[in-house]
Amino acid sequence: MASPKKARQKALLQFLTLLVAVVIVVVAAVLAQNWWNNRPGPQPHDVAVTADNGSERIEVFPYIVCEPGLECPEGEVPNLPVAADGTLVLEIPEDIHDHDWQLLLIYDDPAANDQQFHGAYDATTVEIPGSVDPVADGDPRPRLMVVEISSAMIGRDAHDEETPYATVWSLSTMEDAP
């Protein structure tokens, strides 16, 4: 049988060991959370929107990425045909939908064009019809031609400093596009 003094020492040692373990876990959790919150996000030109027309699915990378006020070189616009009675589904990644962004819908009748503004976490997917009701009676249904998503994003410049970028994703939906 252990003496009362040895039992107290053993209990104190167990308590101190437990206390050190708790401190290590708390410090590790705080450091991990700090790293998680401050990790760099992807560069704007690496963020892709997923577009699906029901039979084909593609990733759409930005058409334009540039610092505000500078000349913006244009990229390639991918084509994903959408039938007049079809639906285009866009999956908006968190790097875009975690802040304000906008959607521009361009139809073959300019009167049918539409612009939608979205706030942070408003939408993660958007369904866009291949055609909409005509503006005037007797007119044909306006067909969707181009979809653009615009967002201001933060990226790193040539000096590895954070800077804002105007970023635009563009997608042609015309069936007879080159």
The domain ranges of the chain are 1-39, 44-172
Q: Where are the extended beta strands (E) located within the chain?
A: 49-52, 57-60, 64-66, 87-91, 101-107, 114-118, 125-129, 144-156, 162-172
pLDDT the model gives residue 73: 86
pLDDT the model gives residue 71: 86
Residues across the chain: 178
Q: What is the CA radius of gyration of the chain?
A: 27
Instruction: Name the residue among 106, 101, 75, 102 with its Cα closest to residue 88.
Output: 106
pLDDT the model gives residue 1: 58
CA distance 76 to 62: 9
pLDDT the model gives residue 58: 95
Structure tokens at 115: 């612009």
pLDDT the model gives residue 81: 95
CA distance 79 to 76: 10
Q: How many CB atoms lie within 10 A of CB 99?
A: 15
CA distances from 117 to 72, 126, 143 (A): 23, 12, 21
Sequence-ordered list of residues with C-beta below 8 angstroms from that of 117, at least 6 positions apart, any chain: 100, 102
pLDDT tens for the chain, residues 1 to 178? 568 888 888 888 898 999 999 999 999 998 888 877 776 678 899 999 999 999 999 999 999 999 888 888 888 999 999 999 999 999 999 999 999 999 999 999 999 999 999 999 999 999 999 999 887 887 889 999 999 999 999 888 888 888 999 999 999 998 765 4
pLDDT the model gives residue 176: 66
